[in-house]
Each structure stands twice: as structure tokens, then as C-alpha cells.
Chain A
Amino acid sequence: MNLRMPLIAIGAVAALAAPAALAHRMWMIASSTSVSGTDNWVTVDAAVSNDLFFFDHQPIRVAPTVLQPDGTEGTVENHAVGKFRATFDVHLTQQGTYRIGVVNRGVFGSYQLNGERKMIPRGTTVDKLASVIPAGATDVQTAESVSRNEIYVTQGAPTTTVFKPTGKGIELVPVTHPNDLVVGEPATFQFLLDGKPAPDLFVTVIPGGIRYRDALKQQDLKTGADGKVSINWPDPGLYWVNVTPTRPREEGAGGPGMGAPGAGGPQGAGRPAGPPQRRVSYVTTVEVLAP
């Protein structure tokens, strides 16, 4: 009995640390992804929900960041976190492609203290790790989590400076630019894991508007040896693209901390006991236009 406890508890924390990888989908959408002129604003909605892209569950509370075409950091304005969604504005004053993102870098795990297994608090960052583990703790088991949620907006012609990899977690490198997507032209994206092309990543593509149709229309793809994946866009509209190293859990298959048989993440039930595994994920929303 005592032996099983830690495993279940670790699972619970992992779920809390990266909710997007589990039952709900994390997303951001911009009011426009491609704009003309020299001085525009875009508004972004940021939420977590099942139905794409309907905000009916939770907002994304983390403050987003903006990277401008010239590589400098931009400003997030009017950030407001509501009941179901967060919203904020970005002032576009440069020509080229902006990256708007939320990157969660945290650490999760547990330790043994006075004969009890204790969880590291949710939301702990690497630099704060030492302060949350009390003196006398033993058998400390931790792993890092890097979840990246990024969207791209282009004023004028698309540019690629914002895709310079940081080498942390999963990142997108455009072969096809994500602001240059049109029905009838397959797009190719390359995904890096810690800066290197990552084969065998699971790429899930789902068109928006789920509420008004019966079929999910999900595409389950995998990156090739060079980390590249080719995606077909059957219709114009917004598409949610989610990338994970492990098979994503089916929607609704168990709540937080419950392993989904046959589809569990690293902490799913039935996995061999061991230290918690690092979790990485990437998600973006792209807009596909009619030709």
C-alpha cells in the first residue's frame, strides 16, 4: 500500500502542472493573423476548454509575452483575466511576424518527509525549488515541465526572426510560414525538442467550430526523422495544433491524475514505477485562408 501511494500522488501533480496536456485544450486566438498597413492592433483571447474555440471553461491566467519582428520584446496591453477567458491587446508597429506566447516552465515531483510522501506545490519554478523542499526531506524526485503555447501574427510580409529557437522544450521552425496557410496547399512545419529536430512527436490537428458539428475531424500525425510534419487543411478556418512526445490522452478519458488505460501519459496507471518524467508540449492556433 505504501509503495503505491507515491505513484498515484505524483500523477496528480503532473496533471495539475500541465492541464493542457490532459482533458482540456489550451488555446489562444488572435483577432487577425495577417494584417496590412503599418499601425494595427490585434486582440487575443486565451482560454482552456474542450470545444475549440469556445471559451466556456477556464481562462489562461499566465501573463503572455510578445516577441516583435526585430527580436525585441513587445508590450502586452489591457490584459484582463475573466471567468472563462483572458484577453489582451498587442500593438503592431513593425513590419513582419510577431510571436505571442505563454510559456510555462515549472518543476513537479515529490519528496519523503517524516514517513510521508509530500508533493512539490503546483506552479513551482526551477529557481524556487530549493525553497519549497524542507530540511530533512529525503528521496526527492522532480522533473521539469515546459509547455509552450504560441501564436503568430504578421503585419505586411511574413518574416522568420521570431522562430529562432531557444533550445528549451518543443519549438516550431517554419518550412511553410504559419501565417501563409491556404486550403489546397499542404504545409510543412519542423519541430525541435531542446533545439534539435525531433522525430516521432505526436501532432494533433483539429479544426475550430467543434460545437457545430458531430465529427471531431482530428488528424493524428507524427513528425518524421527530420522533425518535419506535413499537414493538409481541408477547409479554411482556425486549426488547433498540439505537439507532444507521448500519445495525447483522449478527451474525457479520466480526470486529473487518473491514468487512461492504453493511452496514459508518462505518469499513467500501469506504467512502471520510477522517477517522474519530464513533460514538454507545444500548442499553436493557425489560420488557414481560402485561396
Chain B
Amino acid sequence: MQIRLTGFTATAFGAGALAAGPAAAQTLDLTVTIPKLSVAEYHRPYVAMWLEKEGVAPRTIQIWYDVDKKGGEGTKWLRDVRQWWRTSGRSLSFPADGVSGATRAPGPQKLRLVGGRAGMPTLSPGNYTLIVEAAREVGGRELVRLPFAWNGNSATAAGKGSTELGGVSLTLKR
């Protein structure tokens, strides 16, 4: 079987991307804005975030869904976060440690991930893309892509969605 992953081969993210020492702890600060929508039936979106790097298998760093529904029922709609599901999600088991989280309310949602902890890999220098994908029950779906170059010291990137996502930004520091 050949799974097409937009040009990525199936190397583990950690193996190819791991940097040398644990001393150089990286912090990734993310802001993902979930827009307040005036709709008759509103459900918080499922939001997936993953990292892509050429030559390396994509790596999920966050997935927000109905993680607490009984019997794991919240996983039933993970496939609606369609591109994430195909790229990375379907090869995970749920809940995924340090990666699975509850859905979040409208407004700017901030989070800090530390390289080498939980689901966040330590990144070696290179060109990356962070992709944020949101899919909302009885609503739409949108992706925002944030390409960034990591030189080992600092990187920033920002983007904006127009329907299911507002502003999205990242700051990566060592």
C-alpha cells in the first residue's frame, strides 16, 4: 500500500528531527483564535495542529475534541478534521498522551508546548510548516498554514483564517 502524504516519506518525526541536548529546551507558544460565530446551533470546533517538514512524517502536536465523552464517542468525528485525519490522525490511538485535549471556547486560546515533552518533539533546524485545521459540527472547516524557518534560536509566524479560524500565531524559542 502506498499512502500519499503530500511528498513526505514515513520517517518518524523524532528520529529525523531530534536535536542534541535536553539542555536546549525549546518552547513553542501558540495562539489560536476561535471566532465567535452568530449561528443558531453552535458547537465548539475540533481543532488539530500538526507539524510538517520535508522528508519527515507529519507529527500531530495537538488535537482538541470531545475527549471526555463516554465510551470514546468523541473520536467518531475526528475524521471530519479531514486533512489532519489523513495526514497524521488516523495513525494515532486515542486519547493521545499530551496531544489530546478538550475543545475550547471562542476567543484567543494560548498554549505553550515544550520540546521533548508530551507530544511536542524537539526540532532540529530546518523549514517547517505548522498547520492548524478546525472543523465544526454543523459548520465548516478551515486550515491555516504557518511556514517557519527554525534556526535553533527563534522563529515566529502568523496567519489568519476567514471562517472557522481567526488569527493564528506561533513563537518558537530556545
Which positions in A face B, CB cutoff 8 Å?
A: 32, 34-40, 156-160, 174-177, 180, 182, 185, 289-291
Size category, B interface: 20 to 34
Q: Is B15 an interface residue (CB 8 A)?
A: no
Q: Which of A36, A176, A290 contacts B85 (CB 8 A)?
A: A36
Q: Which of A35, A38, A175, A290 contacts B82 (CB 8 A)?
A: A290
Which positions in B face A, CB cutoff 8 Å?
A: 1-4, 71-73, 75-79, 82-83, 85-86, 89-91, 94
Q: Which of B4, B71, B78, B83 contacts A36 (CB 8 A)?
A: B78
Q: What A residues does B85 contact at CB under 8 A?
A: 34, 36
Contact between B4 and A176, CB atoms less than 8 A apart: yes
Q: What B residues does A40 contact at CB under 8 A?
A: 76
Q: What A residues does B86 contact at CB under 8 A?
A: 180, 182, 289
Q: What B residues does A35 contact at CB under 8 A?
A: 76, 79
Contact between A36 and B90, CB atoms less than 8 A apart: yes
> Assuming the A-B contacts A37-B72, A37-B78, A40-B76, are A157 and B4 also in contact, with contact meaning beta carbons closer than 8 angstroms in the complex?
no
Q: How far is the CA of A290 from the CA of B83 in the complex (A)?
A: 9
Please name the residue on chain A nearest to B78 by beta carbon: A36
Q: What B residues does A174 contact at CB under 8 A?
A: 1
Q: Which of B76, B82, B91 contacts A37 (CB 8 A)?
A: B76
Q: How far is the CA of A174 from the CA of B94 in the complex (A)?
A: 28
Q: How far is the CA of A177 from the CA of B1 in the complex (A)?
A: 7
**A128 CB to nearest B CB, Å:** 38
Residue of A34, A156, A160 ringed by the most chain B CB atoms within 10 A: A156
Q: How far is the CA of A90 from the CA of B88 in the complex (A)?
A: 26
Contact between B1 and A36, CB atoms less than 8 A apart: no
Contact between A185 and B4, CB atoms less than 8 A apart: yes
Q: How far is the CA of A160 from the CA of B3 in the complex (A)?
A: 11
Q: How far is the CA of A89 from the CA of B12 in the complex (A)?
A: 37
Contact between A176 and B79, CB atoms less than 8 A apart: no
Q: What A residues does B3 contact at CB under 8 A?
A: 158, 177, 180
Q: What B residues does A289 contact at CB under 8 A?
A: 82, 86
> Assuming the A-B contacts A156-B90, A291-B83, are A37 and B4 also in contact, with contact meaning beta carbons closer than 8 angstroms in the complex?
no
